[in-house]
Every structure is written in structure tokens, then in C-alpha cells.
Amino acid sequence: MNSSFSGWGSGLLGVLIFSGSLPATRVAVSGFDPYFLTAARAVLAAVLACLLLGLMKQRRPSVSDLKSLAIVALGVVIGFPLLTALALEHITAAHSIVFIGLLPLMTAAFGVVRGGERPAPLFWLFSILGSAAVVGFALSQSADASLTGDAFMLAAIVACGLGYAEGAQLSRRLGGWQVISWALILSLPFMAGLAAVTYPQSFSDLELPVWLSLAYVSVFSMLVGFVFWYRGLAIGGTAGVGQLQLLQPFFGLILAAFLLAEPIAPSMIGVTILVVICVAGAKRFA
């Protein structure tokens, strides 16, 4: 019971941190090219990861772990950040948050494929109901539509779900923060090269919110959030704890309202209650 509670608590902290990622990315792409933004946040996070691994004197992953680390890197270091940055050039942060409601299903599905988890049938019922509630609510609140932006977001969700599930399995051997740290380091040569190629000619016209957003997605979205998230998935189970992502769109909408002045509908409260019920049901049958 204690380990389960700890896993869900750690996962919730990760969700709270990740909730600021899309609003912050929306602000950041107003000043940075999506490719440079993706590279810069990965490079900055990788530098911090190197320092952390060195200070904590962590052992290197084995050769057999490299394939899994590469999948994590492709999914959450490169794929999700780049695809969401490209999407947010075409759609608003509120609209992009629609697709986060699909992450629990995608994470659970990859957890079954990659990790061999077998949640009960009622788990899938609660998961589908929760995802449908999130997507239905968010779609009803956004008139902004772009096939290009939506396609990028769908691809981002697939990449992220795979990265989450793979990282959760690897976390059981290496530890949660170690997985994302080694994945960042593995991707560093490529991302440093991409940063050099896409380096802006000038930074003089960038305002403070753009810099703060870059700092947030580099430190919190790319590193700190994963410390809690992968720990939660490893302890509490990928399929079960992954359902906490159903709450992320609502946290994200609140942040979007405060940071980007995007409106929140009164019906959000009722849907949030429904989602909480679905999360509790999914936890019960995971």
C-alpha cells in the first residue's frame, strides 16, 4: 500500500510539472525556431544531467540498456518536444492540450506491449471513459483547428507514450532520474549539432517570458518532471499511474488561462470531477 501510494504521489508531482510544458512551449516558440528550441532545451538539460550523474557517482548503463535509452530519447527528448513545438506554431496551447487526454491510453497500450502489463478489463473501461471526457471537453472549448497542428500533436502523443512506457521499464533497473539523465546524454551529440545548425542570428529582440519559458522546459519539463514521473511509473505501474495524465489537461488549461489569457469554461469543474472518478477507477483495477 505504501509503495503504491508513493508511486501515485510521485506520478502526480510529475503531472503537475508537465502541465506547464505546453503553455511554456507556446510562449517559447514565439521567439525561437521549433528546431532550435527542441535542441536548446535538450542540451541545457543534458548539461544538468551530466552534473547530477557526476555528483551522485552513478554507474554507467550496460550495453543492453542502450536500445531502451535510445527509445526513451527518441520519444521524450526529441520526438515529443519537437512535434509539440511544431504543432504550437499552428494551434493554441488550449487546443494542443486536447491531445494530452490521449496520453494515458497510449502509455497503457505501450506498457502492455513493451512491459507485459495486463490490467483488468474494467481498467480499460475507466481509461477510455476518462480519455473521452477529456477530449470531448477540450474539443468543445476550442474553435482553433489546424490539420497540420493536429497531425503533429497526434504524432507527439504516440512518441511520448512510447517513451514513457519504455522509460518506466528501464527505471526499475536504473532508477527514474538516471533514465532521463542517460537518455539526455545519449542524445546530446545530435542535439548539440542541431542547436549549432539552427542557432539564431540574434537574441536581442527576445523578451523575458520567452527566456523564462525556455528555462522551464529545459529544467523542469526535460529533467525534474521525469525524476518524479518515471519513479511513479516504476513503483505504481505504467498502466495505473499513467492514468494521472488525465488530470494534466485541466492543470494545463488553468495555466494557459493565467499565463496566456485563454478562457476556461464553467463546465470544466464537472468534467474534472468525472475525470477524478475515472482515475480512481483505473487505479482500482490497474
pLDDT at residue 96, as a whole number: 81
Assess whether pLDDT exceeds 60 at residue 1: no
Neighbours of 248 (CB within 10 A): 24
Please state the domain count of the chain. Answer: 1
Q: How far is CA 86 from CA 82, 97, 217, in A?
A: 6, 14, 15
**What is the dihedral sign for C-alpha 124, 126, 129, 132?**
negative
C-alpha cell at 7: 508511486
pLDDT band at 47 (very low <50, low <70, confident <90, very high): very high
The DSSP output letter for 33 is -
**Percent of the chain topping pLDDT 70:** 89
pLDDT at residue 222, as a whole number: 93
User: With contact defined as beta carbons under 8 Å apart, do 80 and 257 qualify?
Assistant: no
Residue 12 half-sphere exposure, CB side, CA atoms within 13 Å? Answer: 10
pLDDT at residue 267, as a whole number: 66
**Percent of the chain topping pLDDT 90:** 42
Give the E-state strand segments of the chain in sequence order.
none
Tens digits of per-residue pLDDT, 251-276? 887 887 777 776 666 666 677 677 76
Cα–Cα distance measured from residue 219 to residue 118, given in angstroms and rounded to the nearest whole number: 34
| CA neighbor of 260 nearest in space, from 199, 209, 204 | 209
Alpha helices in 57-175 (DSSP H): 66-72, 80-87, 93-97, 103-115, 121-141, 147-174
Tens digits of per-residue pLDDT, 223-245? 999 888 888 887 887 777 877 87
Write b or e for each residue in 56-90: b if 16 or more Cβ atoms lie within 10 A of its Cβ, otherwise e: eeeeebeeebeebbebbbbbbbbbbbbbbbbbbeb
Residue 256's domain comprises 2-199+206-285
